[in-house]
Structure 1
Amino acid sequence: MQFHVLPNFFSVSQFQTVSNPLHTQAGNSNDGQFPLNVTTAGNQVNITTGVVNATVANTIFTDNQLAVYQVDQVLLPLNIFGPAAPAPAPSAPKKSVKGADAPSGSSDTGSTPDASAAMGLKHHGMIAVSAGVAAILAAVFL
């Protein structure tokens, strides 16, 4: 919610001369952790987050100290909803040597010799997913 709040009062006309990026109440305002960029075209105010392009649709309330504007989309911060890093490509599965194709002296029954390693990779994958979810939740609630 704090990503939708600016620390200073801005009238619609003041958005025309504002210096981007605008700092929001979310995160550390000193380094602009969750900034908004505002552009205007006449009386139309456009807001971009790097993920969403929104327009101020209406002024709900203003008294020269506080202004409440209606935007046409939910503002999603780039730091949380931005493009994710590409996932690593899956490796090709190892071919198993069976029965008559097996070298002499081999007793391979077709089972994967590294079944425990495969289980370990699956386990680590779940940890990585859990850590990613925890990082997103921490970013949202901090």
Structure 2
Amino acid sequence: MAFASLTLILFTSFCLILRAQAQAQAPAPSSGAVDLVAILQKGGQYTTLIRLLNESQQLTQIQSQLKSNSQGFTLFAPTDNAFQNLKSGALNGLSDEKKVQLILYHVTPKYYSLSDLLTVSNPVRTQASGSEGSWGLNFTGQGNQVNVSTGVVETQVNNALRQQFPLAVYQVDKVLLPAELFGAKSPAAAPKSPKSSSETPTVGKAGGAPSPSGNAQNENGAAGRNVGFGVILGVGLFCMGVLS
């Protein structure tokens, strides 16, 4: 009995040890939803971005989709100075719809680490899109430096505010202006010049006025015929007088 009891105790202890080791190796459960505002507030220079995220209701969208999107998200966060350095009226001149597109252009529907951005296939799709499809970003770099280009502006991807799946947040010192909204506009076609009112009507066509030179020729012809008729008449009278 004593031997059986000792064996049972040893077996139970062994099972408890294995269970403790398995729990230690298992990943820690999530502490809750990712708080994007808290991440940006901790950075201390993203007041304008937070306001635009709230006004466009994209903050709620991103927070909600983070729970169901298996690919994660990447946000490129312009600083307050980046917004202040925009040309006067560049932001206020946008409609509400275009402001939403501008914010969505800073979000990719996939999680990217900095090393991922060095090897991605350009252009990288963003959440912004138009009639021709998604609007893209282009990434280049070497070593630890990553640059992002929109075709209108180019800047360096700097401080990583968060680099943990499902959300990566990177600081950018310029607002990423999409070419679809801020690119050069094609020049409008030049208006056709109106026809000159001084054009001379063509003789012989409907509505055309006869030329002065034509009238003169008609008058000269009539005068010539009258002179010839008078000469013939005079010769005839002369002959009649001689015969009589």
Q: Could you list the runs of 5+ residues in structure 1 that have no partner in the other structure?
A: 92-142
Quick one: which amino acid aligns to residue 24 of structure 1?
T
Q: Distance in 1 between matches of 2:171 and 2:145?
A: 12
Larger radius of gyration: 2
CA deviation after TM superposition for structure 1 residue 86, in Å: 2.6
What pairs with 1:1-40 in structure 2 (closer than 5 Å)?
Answer: 1-27=103-129, 31-32=133-134, 34-40=135-141
1:17 maps to amino acid: T
Q: Percent identity?
A: 49
**SS of the counterpart of 2:122?**
coil
**Could you report, residue by residue, the CA deviation over 1:8-28 in whole angstroms, capped at 9, with x for unpaired residues?**
000001111100000000115
In structure 2, the partner of 1:77 is 178
**Distance apart, 1:59 and its partner CA:** 0.4
Query: Residue type of the partner of 2:151?
Result: G
TM-score, normalising length: structure 1: 0.57
Q: Measured at CA, do residues 89 and 31 of structure 1 come closer, stay the same or move farther in structure 2, by a change above 3 Å?
A: closer
SS state at 2:180 partner: helix
The aligned counterpart of 1:58 is: 159
Counting matched residue pairs gives 93
Equivalent residue in structure 1 for 2:150, among 49, 59, 65: 49
Tell me the alpha carbon deviations over residues 46-69 of structure 1, each in whole angstroms, 9 at most, x when there is no partner: 000000001112101122321000
Q: Which runs of 5+ in 2 are unaligned?
A: 1-102, 193-244
Q: What TM-score does the superposition give when structure 2 sets the normalisation length?
A: 0.34
The structure carrying a bigger helix percent of its residues is 2
Q: Please identify, of 48-57 and 58-67, the stretch whose mean Cα deviation from structure 2 is larger.
A: 58-67
Alpha-carbon separation, structure 1, partners of 2:191 and 2:155 = 37
